[in-house]
Amino acid sequence: MSNALTKTFDKKAENNQLKKVIPWVDIYENDDEILVHADMPGVKKEDVTVNVDNGTLAISGIRRMPDKGKAAWREFTDLEYVRKYAVPQSIEIERVEAQLKDGVLLIRLPKSETAKPRTVTIKAA
């Protein structure tokens, strides 16, 4: 193999700092909840963090690529997906749920009853 095609990858040279990238996200809202879908391919469930605090949703996930011998060419590296959003204070934090399936993180942010739309009954005067 030609040395021109050889890349070296030295984790020590990174000083243990992961490259940070922004995951692609879709956000949907309905009467009951806000749904956040974040694309985080290669991330394992135990490497995902979801935090809702003081009106901020923070998500992060670390993708770790296994070393399988000496790399002749390497473009995939360990990295960290990071994204933050402002969320309404009316979210019921204790009911927030998250699940990771097929590289997509789904976060359900349920609205409190006071934040849900309601129909007002008109009374006769």
- What string of H, E and C letters represents the secondary structure of 1-57? CCHHHCCCCCHHHHCCCCEEECCCEEEEECCCEEEEEEECCCEEEEEEEEEEECCEE
CATH of the domain at 94: 2.60.40.790
Q: Is the residue at 4 inside a domain?
A: no
Q: Is the residue at 117 inside a domain?
A: no
- Based on the structure, what is the number of domains in the chain? 1
Q: Is the residue at 102 inside a domain?
A: yes
* pLDDT of the residue at 115: 66
Per-residue pLDDT for the chain (125 aa), expressed as one digit of tens each?
333 443 334 444 344 688 999 999 999 999 899 999 999 999 999 999 999 998 999 999 999 988 888 878 888 889 999 999 999 988 999 999 999 999 999 999 999 887 667 778 888 87
Q: What is the extent of the structural domain holding 87?
A: 17-67+74-112
Rounded to two decimals, what is the model's pTM?
Answer: 0.76
Q: Is the residue at 122 inside a domain?
A: no
Neighbours of 21 (CB within 10 A): 13
C-alpha–C-alpha distance, residues 97 and 109, integer Å: 7
Q: Is the residue at 95 inside a domain?
A: yes
